[in-house]
């Protein structure tokens, strides 16, 4: 049996449990992910939304990624921690950041997307496959 992915915000007001395995784990260097993370990239674990149990209230804001994808970003209204990301056009996906996991060591990136927006100072694992934009589906 697979161990759930469990995590939450910094203050503990919002918690989640995900019973499935991530479809993909990746580092994204698009400008919107840079802005959201405050550094050169943001890391993501992408899950099937139906496998997620979310406890607590989150606030949202929408952004548009470099490729035109509308992203709905959730954060804790108490502490401001980035909690998760969804795409209105793809409601079956639920994305969390490794920093929000109780055990962030479970994050194992498989690829890097949007390297065309990356910075020379943002050093990522050189053995990972890279894509100038989003990888082909």
The tens digit of pLDDT for each residue in 23-71 reads: 999 999 999 889 888 899 999 999 999 999 999 999 999 988 777 889 9
Q: Does 85 map to a domain?
A: yes
Q: Does 136 map to a domain?
A: no
Q: What is the mean pLDDT of residues 2-15?
A: 95
Q: Does 63 map to a domain?
A: yes
Q: Does 49 map to a domain?
A: yes
Cα(71)–Cα(65) distance, integer angstroms: 7
For residue 5, pLDDT over 80 is answered with yes
75 DSSP β-pair partners: 59, 82
N residues, the chain: 137
Cα(88)–Cα(134) distance, integer angstroms: 18
Query: What are the CA-CA distances from residue 74 to residues 115, 131, 136 (Å)?
Result: 24, 26, 26
For residue 1, pLDDT over 80 is answered with no
Q: Domain range holding 79?
A: 5-114
Residue 89 sits in a domain whose CATH number is 2.170.150.70
3-state secondary structure at position 85: strand
Q: Does 135 map to a domain?
A: no
Q: Does 94 map to a domain?
A: yes
Domain count, the chain: 1
């Amino acid at each position: 049996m697979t161990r759930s992915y469990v995590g939450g915000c910094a203050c503990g007001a919002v918690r989640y449990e995900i019973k499935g395995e991530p479809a993909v784990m990746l580092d994204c260097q698009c400008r919107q992910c840079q802005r959201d993370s405050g550094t050169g990239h943001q890391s993501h674990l992408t899950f099937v939304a139906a496998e997620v149990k979310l406890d607590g209230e989150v606030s949202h804001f929408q952004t548009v990624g470099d490729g035109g994808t509308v992203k709905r970003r959730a954060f804790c209204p108490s502490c401001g921690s980035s909690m998760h990301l969804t795409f209105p056009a793809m409601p079956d996906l639920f994305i969390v950041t490794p920093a929000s996991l109780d055990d962030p060591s479970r994050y194992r990136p498989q690829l890097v997307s949007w390297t065309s927006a990356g910075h020379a100072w943002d050093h990522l694992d050189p053995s990972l496959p890279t894509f100038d934009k989003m990888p082909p589906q």
